[in-house]
Amino acid sequence: MKFLLLQVCLLSICCHCFAQLPAPNYDENSIPPYTLPDPLLSKNGKKITSVKQWETGQRPYIRQLFEEHVYGKIPGKIKGQHFKLTETDSNALGGKAIRKQVNIYFTGSESGPYMKLILYLPKTGKKVPVFAGLNFKGNQTIDTDDGIAMARYWKNASTDIANADDSRGIRMERWPLEKIIGRGYGLATAHYYELEPDHKDGWKEGIRTTLKDALGIAADEWTAIGAWSWGLSRIQDYLETDTRIDASKTILIGHSRLGKTALWAGANDTRFAKVIANESGEGGAALSRRWYGETIAHLNTNFPHWFNGKYKTYNNNAAALPVDQHMLLALIAPRPLYVASAQEDQWADPRGEYLSAKHALPVYLLYKLPVTGLETMPGINQPVGKTVRYHIRDGKHDVTAYDWEQFLNFADETK
Ligand code: GCU
């Protein structure tokens, strides 16, 4: 009898597990039908037909829905925030670039929380647009130069390197500095851990705790993705003060979880002129209602700190969400948007990322912007679309030279 009870118990625990975390689906033919919410249908069931209605009513309403159901709140900056230039190297990258390192102090005090920003600029007399994004493993990983200040969290949860110096330059391929500089752009990046370490207890050390009083917001009112997004806006605050930079043209870029972050930052902070979300997947560009690859339940189980409490109620029930991710993409309108996928990154649901971009187009059309090219999903390595661009390249989940080539072309062509 006892044995039987134990078996029943184990079975129900297991069923519970499965109910919480179904195996990912990778079969197009097994996707149950779904209906996407219409970004242009107001809360009262009225069709939005003008930019004015969109900007004054519908856009703020949809942004608010994402805040409430998905990503949590986003506070403003703190009075007293200031910047300290800690290094200028006028001969970086073998003389091709200027490198600056700046501490962004989030409060009036230097003993308070801060973030280390690294900036590369071409040596031109003109103000340049900058690509801005967070990095995964520290600023020292984007180039081998030992003048780059070491990240405070160089040994983070996703870094299996034994000593700090071994991490120098390990992510150079993801940040092709010479190419970016050569094309006339700058690059600004900071380590996302400096805002909040990326694990379920990271909030205790991160700005959701250390800036709780200064920002007047409790840790559980926002999320890790919110904290990282907030940091992107603080980078833009700095860029606006640098006379060598055209900060009205900042191109926000993020990969994977940091692609989700870039989209949320771009939705909240319209100072970002263009947004690139590379392989941002579930909770990023990919449609949640499409049951393919990662699901909301996977996200919430593996990364409970990324999204808010309410989002957990949509585990295995995406249909109940008042939004889907095409509406997040629509919040970027009318600004140019690039959604990028990789063929071997099925976990991120490339087709769901493409469809999301396509279903954001009605909002771009309100602005009468050219949006052709996304009618059908393109083949491998064929970027399509004008204001909203999409590609699926061959290969795995990563940021490659191919991706950067397309992002630079996009930046040039959407000036
Ligand atoms: C995991 C996670 C994804 C995320 C990715 C990343 O694979 O499930 O949602 O985008 O990590 O950030 O690398």
Which among 258, 294, 346 is the best mutation to test ligand 1's pocket, defined by most ligand atoms within 8 Å of the CB? 294
For the chain, what are the domain ranges?
A: 1-21+63-71+250-256+267-391, 73-249
- Protein residues with CB under 6 Å of any ligand 1 atom: 256-257, 281-282, 294, 299, 302, 347
What is the residue whose two structure tokens read 């092709």?
176
Residue nearest to atom 13 of ligand 1 (CA): 256
The rounded Å distance from CA 180 to ligand 1 centre is 26
Looking at residue 161, its pLDDT comes to: 80
Residue nearest to atom 12 of ligand 1 (CA): 257
Looking at residue 20, its pLDDT comes to: 59
Q: For residue 322, which phi and psi values (nearest 5 degrees)?
A: -75, -10
* pLDDT above 70 coverage of the chain, percent: 94
Looking at residue 363, its pLDDT comes to: 98
Q: Give residue-wise pLDDT tens across range 279-304.
A: 999 999 999 999 999 999 999 999 99
Beta strand pairing call for 274-278 and 251-255: parallel
What is the residue whose two structure tokens read 């230039």?
85
Which has the closest alpha carbon to 378: 408, 415, 414, 406?
406
Q: How far apart are alpha carbons 361 and 369 in whole angstroms? A: 9
Q: For residue 286, which phi and psi values (nearest 5 degrees)?
A: -65, 145
Q: Give residue-wise pLDDT tens across range 312-347.
A: 999 989 999 999 999 999 999 999 999 999 999 999
Continuous H helices in 67-123: 92-95
Residues 6+ apart with CB under 8 A from 100: 85, 87, 88, 89, 118, 119, 121, 242
Looking at residue 64, its pLDDT comes to: 98
Task: Please check whether residue 370 is in contact with residue 347, taking contact to mean a CB–CB distance below 8 angstroms.
Answer: no
Q: Give residue-wise pLDDT tens across range 27-74.
A: 999 999 999 999 999 999 999 999 999 999 999 999 999 999 999 999
Task: State the average pLDDT for the chain.
Answer: 94
Label residue 1 by pLDDT band (50, 70, 90). very low
Report the atom number in ligand 1 closest to the C-alpha of 255: 12
Q: Is 69 a catalytic residue?
A: no
Continuous H helices in 126-269: 177-182, 207-210, 212-215, 224-239, 257-268
| Full-model pTM | 0.95
Report the atom number in ligand 1 closest to the C-alpha of 280: 10
Type and span of the H or E element at 9 = helix 2-20
